[in-house]
């Protein structure tokens, strides 16, 4: 299939490598300096776009793709205040939009484990918190993955009304500590503490390849569909 890459940083290059290994063609590599190159591409030139750009560019990129009639897979975080607009546009255009805060199969299994543990811990005398660690180039904090994990904990915990970035001592909120260190791909720790013990679950990415593979598999799955999709939809169809 013919894939358009929107965002050509480290993740974009990893996605390109995996897409080529899987027999696909890259029809464009769009970054800040060459956005005009998208205008020469026709609807029929692109089977799917994979968008891993920046929080500032994501909304415009996704909008452009949907109006052009290109199915678009996005993994950019930090722009989700505009998500309702994108979903409306997708419906208006009879388009296809796939979003995940994290495309790693392992992370998405971790999301399920996180909710199950939160369900078990609800009502017991434990204080929940979270720490996420990413490379120094990551612009948003907390990460989209951390927000998804937080939403899972909050949904299963009666005493929580939301999340806040640490340090914040307001009761009723899950505290998220965001650290930016070196070139690490990413670590997420969900912690439950009491006076007698501590329970933790941790996911650590060893490379970007798992995220990139998930994005390419999503792009392979999306063409021919209409609507807004996420990793749960993909995983159900891969089972």
CATH of the domain at 83: 3.40.50.720
Query: For residue 9, how many other CB atoms are within 10 A of its CB?
Result: 12
* In a shared domain, residues 98 and 43: yes
**Residue set of the binding site for NAD(+):** 75-77, 100-103
Verify that 213 and 232 share a domain, yes or no: yes
Q: Answer whether 74's CB lies under 8 Å from 207's CB.
A: no
97 and 111 part of one domain: no
Q: Which residues are catalytic?
A: 134, 138
CA separation for the pair 102, 129 (Å, rounded): 20
Q: Token pair of 172, please?
A: 């009723």
Residue 144's domain comprises 105-204
Instruction: Quote the tokens at residue 117.
Output: 């543990």
Q: Quick one: angle between helices 10-21 and 209-221, nearest 10?
A: 60
For residues 99 and 8, state if they share a domain.
yes
What percentage of the chain's residues is helix, strand, coil (to nearest 5)? 45, 25, 35
Classify strands 48-51 and 2-6 as parallel, antiparallel or unpaired: parallel
Among candidates 213, 176, 223, 199, which has minimal Cα distance to 47?
223
Pairing of strands 72-74, 127-134: unpaired
How many domains does the chain contain in total?
Answer: 2
Annotated binding site: 35, 75-77, 100-103, 135, 144-145
Helix (H) or strand (E) holding 216: helix 209-221
CATH code, domain carrying 180: 3.30.360.10
Whether this prediction's pTM lies above 0.85 is answered by no
Shared domain check, 127 and 192: yes
**Whether residues 60 and 175 fall in one domain:** no
Does one domain contain both 71 and 39?
A: yes
**Greatest pairwise CA separation for the chain in angstroms:** 63
Residues 42 and 130 in one domain: no
pLDDT digit of tens for each residue in the chain (239 aa)?
Answer: 999 999 999 899 999 999 999 999 999 999 988 989 999 999 999 999 999 998 899 999 999 999 999 999 999 988 989 999 999 999 999 999 999 988 988 888 899 999 999 999 999 999 999 999 988 877 778 988 899 999 999 999 999 999 999 887 788 999 999 999 887 778 999 999 999 999 999 999 888 888 899 999 999 999 999 999 999 899 887 65
CA 215 to CA 121: how far, in whole Å? 32
61 and 24 inside one domain: yes
User: For residue 235, what pLDDT is reported?
Assistant: 84
Same domain, 90 and 171: no
| 121 and 170 co-located in one domain | yes
């Amino acid at each position: 299939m013919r894939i358009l890459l929107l965002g050509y940083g480290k993740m974009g290059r990893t996605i390109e490598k995996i897409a080529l290994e899987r027999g696909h063609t890259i029809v464009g590599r769009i970054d800040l300096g060459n956005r005009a190159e998208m205008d020469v591409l026709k609807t029929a030139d692109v089977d799917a776009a994979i968008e891993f750009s920046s929080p500032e560019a994501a909304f415009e990129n996704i909008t452009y793709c949907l109006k052009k009639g290109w199915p678009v897979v996005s993994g950019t975080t930090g722009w989700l205040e505009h998500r309702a607009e994108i979903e409306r546009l997708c419906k208006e255009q009879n388009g296809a939009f796939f979003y995940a805060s994290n495309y790693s199969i392992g992370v998405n299994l971790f999301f399920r484990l996180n909710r199950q543990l939160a369900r078990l811990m609800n009502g017991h005398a434990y204080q929940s918190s979270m720490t996420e660690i990413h490379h120094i180039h990551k612009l948003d904090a907390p990460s989209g993955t951390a927000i998804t994990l937080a939403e899972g904990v909050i949904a299963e915990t009666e005493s929580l009304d939301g999340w806040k970035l640490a340090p914040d001592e307001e009761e009723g909120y899950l505290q998220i500590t965001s650290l930016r260190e070196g070139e690490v791909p990413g670590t997420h720790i969900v912690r439950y503490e009491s006076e007698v013990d501590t329970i933790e679950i941790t996911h650590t990415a060893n490379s970007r390849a798992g995220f990139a593979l998930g994005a390419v598999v999503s792009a392979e799955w999306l063409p021919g569909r209409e609507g807004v999709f996420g990793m749960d939809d993909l995983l159900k169809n891969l089972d």
